[in-house]
Amino acid sequence: MSDLKILVVGAGATGGYFGGRLLQAGRDVTFLVRPGRAKLLRDRGLRITGLGEDTVLEPPLVETGTLDRTYDLVLVAVKAAGLTSAIDDFAPAVGPGTLILPFLNGLAHIDALDARFGKDAVLGGVAKVQTTIDDDGAVRRLGPLQSLAYGARTEPAPEKLHDVGEALGNAGFTATLDERITESMWSKWVFIAAIGAVNSLMRATIGEVVAVPGGTEFAEAVVTEAAAVAEAAGYPLPAADLEATRRTVTDPGMGGSSLYRDLLGGHPVEGDQIFGDLTARARELGVAVPLLDLVTLQLRVHQHRIG
């Protein structure tokens, strides 16, 4: 069993779920959380519910502003809007041999982490999980998907990468070492951007969009734009990933993305993280993305409206 000391930054839908599973598996896990979340977790425990499960854990916690030691592995699972403050919060946990494994959407967070801690310390990661935070603060599972992919972004790979694999393996979810992790991060980015754009621009589920004349062609055009940015950046989507994305955004039974749910609910959305950065890279690369430009503007208006 791995003896890595792991710090999980954030105990929300992603960090709470995977960190909780690692804790259940006997890993040395501590959660870095803000005081309000810390109080809730101390009072009620870290609860994982849904799909017939009702697990209650008592997680080791450290509150922001009180970190006084370093860790071997830092898992970063915060919303994009909280990344800048999170970096300041967990910086004391990063020592000379610490590896940082982030699970955020897009790639803007990688640039920020590289700038602060150096590229060699920052791994690439892709999290796939169907979870949300309930009104009572529990992590609720919405579906069976639960996997992490991780990998080095530099050569040679960090010596501790094998230890990371041991720490994440056999912990109740699928953990895969991905030797092409940056390509996989681009693939996920295209996937979530395509679904989010179709939902947001049409204010409808995927099924509702493709049920009308022109809907399927529109959805496929969104995928084509997003994939063109990835290809121009040097990370063309593997044929299987591109086909899977096209299939998903034209699936009559497909609903709405989490971004779309947040949009309809009047909540903040990761518009700039997912779309603003993607369209900025498109401009730098000379790729025309009129549909993605439109959804970027739309979500910025939404963010301005809600303050």
What was the pLDDT predicted at 218? 98
What was the pLDDT predicted at 307? 87
What was the pLDDT predicted at 264? 95
Asked whether the beta carbons of 191 and 248 are under 8 A apart, the reply is yes
What was the pLDDT predicted at 172? 95
Residues of the chain with pLDDT under 70: 1
For the chain, give the DSSP string: ----EEEEE--STTHHHHHHHHHHTT-EEEEEE-HHHHHHHHHH-EEEEETTEEEEE---EEETT---S-EEEEEE---GGGHHHHHHHHGGGEEEEEEEEE--SSSHHHHHHHHHH-GGGB-EEEEEEEEEE-TTS-EEEEEEEEEEEEE-SSSSPPTTHHHHHHHHTTSSSEEEE-TTHHHHHHHHHHHHHHHHHHHHHHTS-HHHHHTSTTHHHHHHHHHHHHHHHHHHTT-PPPHHHHHHHHHHHT-TT----HHHHHHHTT----HIIIIIHHHHHHHHHT---HHHHHHHHHHHHHHHHH-
Residue type, 217: E
What was the pLDDT predicted at 85? 97
Indicate yes or no: pTM above 0.85: yes
